[in-house]
Structure 1
């Protein structure tokens, strides 16, 4: 079966649009908003199946439900048997990718820019954009006195070594107008629940986190939290993207395109059907202890970070990089003193590997 053509209208139309786009297994006369059932039948792929692996951003969180949906529904249709591996943050993910430990890796775009622009990590490409806006934030318990970025000065804050919250903190603090050196960093692992437990136990004053995790954090702490998004301070910077080594990009471009197209279909399916995608995610062995309500909350929160926005007059297709916006991201990092001048989008992104446009 040839890949369905996805349009901007079907992207925004929810269940009915998705069913029409996929043309896979939806029953006529289903009530409006009914999630599309899992497509049945044999995968369309008739060639050999290739085993690959992908690193998540950090651990297994609900924002990775698009990967889970792609693993169940779409990767088999393009001949891929995909193993999801818990990521460890941008820097560690990049090391694992370059070592050959994974075929694909989720990296924060700003972290990838910093790695390439500063030298020593030239052997990878970004190929597919997952989040058009950055998800990073700090969270603190409501009523703790942390209500603005400057309130973090002198406080204990959790972090993941090599994670984007820590990598960008110097720029974040500088733009927010407070000295970064006074923060007391408390190391935690990539599992977001570990950070929330530190906050619940008052072992830290704030945690490094991602905005969609708010529901999960509030479930663990039993308290409302104050969210301090990076985008409120740093402006229009990107979120996560998929990366491959330059060797993979050069030797297996068709593999990269197939992976990206299937992943984007999974991401869009998750956004359109958060309940179904949450169940798929929770069936992963690494996620079975998580709460469905929290996972659904993360998926629903992703919409504002993934979908096209009306503020962009000529936006790139879903999942594709836009050179103008990428230059804005680069300029923000240059202005904050994080990278030298002269870096360009073509040094970072292999634009022709994102796959067929999903507009």
Structure 2
């Protein structure tokens, strides 16, 4: 009997070793190699955190950037920053700029347009009741930001209407609120159609909207761009950033309330939830996703 047990032990031992080794091999085979670390890149925004940049926030939150191997630092605009220089110098990898990006390129600055999101020009003039056209502003006061004064669309619109700052139109520094218009201290003010009208509507203030988009049709806003150097050295990374951003915009437009809550919780904007939801609706119209899928 003892001899029989010894024989069984001798026979079983190799079997146990085989199963043990097989288990080790199986365990090793299902261990996936560690994912490479995400590549850090930066996006310089053209203004403060709000819904006009919602697609980029959504791309980060939903993991679309991470799926492309990117860890994106989204930077809010700071007063005095030269947005184009920020990217062409390499301090930021990507940037957002207005329609004037085209003219920056024409002036020889090494920028590359990657994507355009707003298909309609968002800047308008909000005017006192009865002032319906640019012609009606002759001899009046226009409150406008420094960026607005430099806009090629604004300059072309004023020129076409025969308005010359300092002669038949007084330009005033922008206070970035609608108070001067409400108090009739100005005849008109520059505004983003997705922002300032909300505050006038909420107070039941009457006003006119003077469109500028007909001056240079075809120009939009929220243009994603990079530098020639970045595009040449990192073509795959550039392509991956655009693809993730596009997915983010689709998600943001399909889930506006969720995206507004994300902006409020993570990016701490100055605007209220109600104002951001108003902006979300306006952004959808500016992007015209049904016409430009």
TM-score of the superposed pair, with normalisation by structure 1: 0.63
Query: Which residue of the partner structure matches residue 50 of structure 2?
Result: 61
How far has the Cα of 1:128 moved from its partner? 1.3
Gap runs ≥5 in structure 1: 1-44, 311-317, 319-358
Gap runs ≥5 in structure 2: 1-33
User: Quick one: which of 45, 56, 71 aligns to 1:81?
Assistant: 71
Q: Secondary structure of 2:218's partner?
A: coil
User: Quick one: which of 160, 163, 168 aligns to 1:179?
Assistant: 163
Distance 1:72 1:48 in 2: 18
Q: How does 1:237-252 map to 2 (within 5 A)?
A: 237-252=219-234
**Deviations, residues 190-222 of structure 1 (Å, cap 9, x unaligned):** xxxx24344445554322222222443326866
Q: Secondary structure of 1:75's partner?
A: helix
Q: How does 1:34-73 map to 2 (within 5 A)?
A: 46-73=35-62
Distance 1:266 1:184 in 2: 42
Which is worse superposed, 70-79 or 213-222?
213-222
**Deviations, residues 218-263 of structure 1 (Å, cap 9, x unaligned):** 2686624422222244333232211101111011111111111111
Q: Does the Cα contact within 8 Å between 1:89 and 1:160 map onto a contact in 2?
A: no
Q: Does the Cα contact within 8 Å between 1:67 and 1:267 map onto a contact in 2?
A: yes
Distance 2:102 2:74 in 1: 24
Distance 1:146 1:198 in 2: 16
**Deviations, residues 168-192 of structure 1 (Å, cap 9, x unaligned):** 22211233x3323333223348xxx
Q: Does the Cα contact within 8 Å between 1:65 and 1:280 map onto a contact in 2?
A: no
Query: Which residue of the partner structure matches residue 265 of structure 1?
Result: 247
Distance 2:37 2:180 in 1: 47
Distance 1:151 1:96 in 2: 39
Which is greater in Rg?
2
Instruction: Evaluate the alpha carbon distance shift between residue 81 and residue 99 of structure 1 in structure 2; reply closer, same or farther with a 3 A threshold.
Output: same
Instruction: Evaluate the alpha carbon distance shift between residue 85 and residue 158 of structure 1 in structure 2; reply closer, same or farther with a 3 A threshold.
Output: farther
Q: Does the Cα contact within 8 Å between 1:128 and 1:241 map onto a contact in 2?
A: yes
Q: How does 1:165-204 map to 2 (within 5 A)?
A: 166-175=151-160, 177-181=161-165, 182-188=168-174, 194-200=176-182, 202-204=184-186
How far has the Cα of 1:292 moved from its partner? 1.0
How far has the Cα of 1:126 moved from its partner? 0.6
Residues matched between the structures, number: 257
Instruction: Evaluate the alpha carbon distance shift between residue 234 and residue 180 of structure 1 in structure 2; reply closer, same or farther with a 3 A threshold.
Output: farther
Q: Does the Cα contact within 8 Å between 2:117 and 2:222 map onto a contact in 1?
A: yes
Distance 1:203 1:100 in 2: 43
Cα RMSD between the aligned structures? 2.9
TM-score of the superposed pair, with normalisation by structure 2: 0.76
User: Quick one: which of 122, 128, 132 aligns to 2:115?
Assistant: 128
**Deviations, residues 1-53 of structure 1 (Å, cap 9, x unaligned):** xxxxxxxxxxxxxxxxxxxxxxxxxxxxxxxxxxxxxxxxxxxx933212222
